[in-house]
Amino acid sequence: MKKSSAAFTLFFFIFSYTFAQSPEILKIRAFREQNENAIINEFVSLLSIPNIANDSLNIKKNAAFIMDAMNKRGIQNVQLLSPTTLSKPPVVYGEANIPQATHTIIFYAHYDGQPVNSLQWTKPLEPFKPQLLNGSLEKNASVIPFPTSGGYNNEWRIYGRGASDDKAGVMSILNAYDAIIKSGLKLHYNIKFFFEGEEEAGSSHLSEILEKYKSLLQSDVWIICDGPVHQSGKKQIVFGVRGDCHLDLTIYASKRPLHSGHYGNWAPNPAMMLAKLLASMKDEEGKITIKDFYADVIPFTDAEKKALAEVPSVDEQMKKELGIASTEMPGKSLVEAINLPSLNINGMSSGNVGKQASNVIPTTATAVLDLRLVLGNDWRKQQQKIITHIRDQGYYVVDHEPTDEERSAHAKIIKIIADDGGYNAQRTSMELPIAKNIIAAVQKTTGDKIILVPSLGGSLPLFLFEKYLNAKTIIVPIANHDNNQHAENENIRLQNLCNGIETMASIMLMQPE
């Protein structure tokens, strides 16, 4: 954020300076600076291990690497918490039991990453060959070699899948603990470490693990270290998330691809059918036209409304940064928009485009819809609203490849796979004593006022922690907002990694309220 006057800059400088005197954070920072090479080398090694949740061989390698990193740091009771289906990703767990401590914080991060399409990464970047750039790719930074003896600039970035989402979370937590112990600082809370391996695949086995290890996982609060800081660059604490679920749609036309000359105008074109179906779901102002789509929404409390009003507007900054002249719902701010249920097309495909395009009428057309939910929405009901809408457009809905009988009986056939791993939104009150304690701890690490966000636009299955453990969850994100998480060219800005270590350490160092 640019300061608008010299006086302000001076004030800011003095404040930051004063601030930097905080002896505990200074020790953490010194440890991090002295161990820069080791910290980054270990992080890069972890990023080099592919981490897609269904790649069970590599997932196990990730888990082993993290266990090793925990053992090296003297963390106790390090173990894998595995689901019954052993091929599914385990949680990596460990703990630091503090004599006389009666309260416990669990730190959560996940080590799996979103699926990758290497072809979409900008050469020479690759998902699992982490590389250092002297800035942001979008600002034409170049690949540079990793220094062998420090001298990192904190505006440099490391590119690779998981760099920000969420191996940065894992390593910030472990290095924060390391810095505290090695600097001789004193902990007042018991610390538990919980690193999930299936978050990006919908946390399908998380409930099973929480239930199975219920007694091991008791705590006063879960700190969820995931997601980006505020787009203004300021640190934020987030008290809730949107829910999430998906629908996979496939429209069926001719059983075989047809020559577009010999059959064009006559044979149904599934891409056009899909276009018409998707177009029927939103109006020109971005409002979702599915019946009752916004009906169940629970409004914010007064405290939440106040916090929302204090979130700095980044709309103009983001429009400029993203190169967009207007938004999907004109008149609605980013904060307003992401606090509504959404319907987003993740992907759409029919036939071929580009050099592989040919003169055919394709056989099928596919779209993946991502539905975000706010407090009050039920994810199965939200899926059902879409399915009902599709039926209302004249579609015969199947959950399998249509049979010849179905094909001959129905003009419009769609296969809908409603994913089974959806979940609802969740919010923790920002007025709880533990919440206030955490706000104060994070505030200690920065001169900027911490931003308090009642709900993230993104999703995490936080309702599970409440359901199985009756636990409170608070999200403390660390990644830069322009980290390309979930897409090609994912990256972490080194300053965010450094800040992340300090933020996690400051929370670990809290005294119970």
Ordered DSSP codes for 251-263: EE--SS-EEHHHH
Contact between 334 and a copy of itself by CB under 8 A: the answer reads yes
374 residue type, one letter = V
* Type and span of the H or E element at 240: strand 240-241
Q: Would you say 407 and 255 are in contact if contact means Cβ atoms under 8 Å apart?
A: yes
Compute the least distance from the CB of residue 260 to a copy of itself, in Å. 4
**Pick from 452, 408, 406, 191: nearest CA to 307:** 452
Contact between 351 and a copy of itself by CB under 8 A: the answer reads yes
Compute the least distance from the CB of residue 120 to a copy of itself, in Å. 8
Compute the least distance from the CB of residue 135 to a copy of itself, in Å. 15
Q: Would you say 422 and 243 are in contact if contact means Cβ atoms under 8 Å apart?
A: yes
Q: Alpha-carbon torsion 173, 442, 244, 206, what sign? A: positive
Cβ closest to a copy of itself, residue 172 vs residue 455: 455
Contact between 512 and a copy of itself by CB under 8 A: the answer reads no
Compute the least distance from the CB of residue 165 to a copy of itself, in Å. 9
Separation in Å, CA 127 to CA 49, 51, 116, 193: 10, 10, 7, 26
The correct pick among 141, 337, 387, 397 for binding a copy of itself (CB under 8 A) is 337
Contact between 297 and a copy of itself by CB under 8 A: the answer reads no
Compute the least distance from the CB of residue 336 to a copy of itself, in Å. 8
What number of other Cβ atoms are within 10 A of residue 216's Cβ?
17
Q: Which of residues 159-218 bind a copy of itself (CB under 8 A)?
A: 200
Contact between 398 and a copy of itself by CB under 8 A: the answer reads no
What 289-295 contacts at long range (C-beta under 8 Å, 24+ apart), as own/partner pairs, is 290/343, 290/385, 290/386, 290/389, 291/385, 291/388, 291/389, 292/385, 293/341, 293/343, 293/382, 293/385, 294/340, 294/341
Contact between 289 and a copy of itself by CB under 8 A: the answer reads no
Cβ closest to a copy of itself, residue 162 vs residue 227: 227
Compute the least distance from the CB of residue 383 to a copy of itself, in Å. 16
Q: Which of residues 62-101 bind a copy of itself (CB under 8 A)?
A: none
C-alpha–C-alpha distance, residues 64 and 301, integer Å: 44
The correct pick among 71, 85, 358, 384 for binding a copy of itself (CB under 8 A) is 358
Contact between 296 and a copy of itself by CB under 8 A: the answer reads no
Contact between 267 and a copy of itself by CB under 8 A: the answer reads yes
**Pick from 186, 173, 189, 180: nearest CA to 28:** 180
Cβ closest to a copy of itself, residue 95 vs residue 244: 244
> What residues form DSSP beta bridges with 423?
244
C-alpha–C-alpha distance, residues 225 and 507, integer Å: 11
The correct pick among 23, 266, 399, 400 for binding a copy of itself (CB under 8 A) is 266
One character per residue 444-463, x = contact with a copy of itself (rule: CB under 8 A): ------------xxxx----
Contact between 49 and a copy of itself by CB under 8 A: the answer reads no
Contact between 349 and a copy of itself by CB under 8 A: the answer reads yes
How many chain residues are in contact with a copy of itself, going by CB under 8 A? 106
Q: Which of residues 100-139 bind a copy of itself (CB under 8 A)?
A: 114-117, 138
Contact between 340 and a copy of itself by CB under 8 A: the answer reads yes
Q: Which residues, including other chains, have CB under 8 Å from residue 450's CB and lie 6 or more apart?
A: 234, 235, 236, 237, 439, 442, 443
Give the range of 57-65, 71-79, 139-147, 315-323 binding a copy of itself by CB under 8 A. Answer: 315-323
The correct pick among 154, 359, 384, 511 for binding a copy of itself (CB under 8 A) is 359
Residue 276 carries which DSSP code? Answer: H
Q: Would you say 226 and 111 are in contact if contact means Cβ atoms under 8 Å apart?
A: no
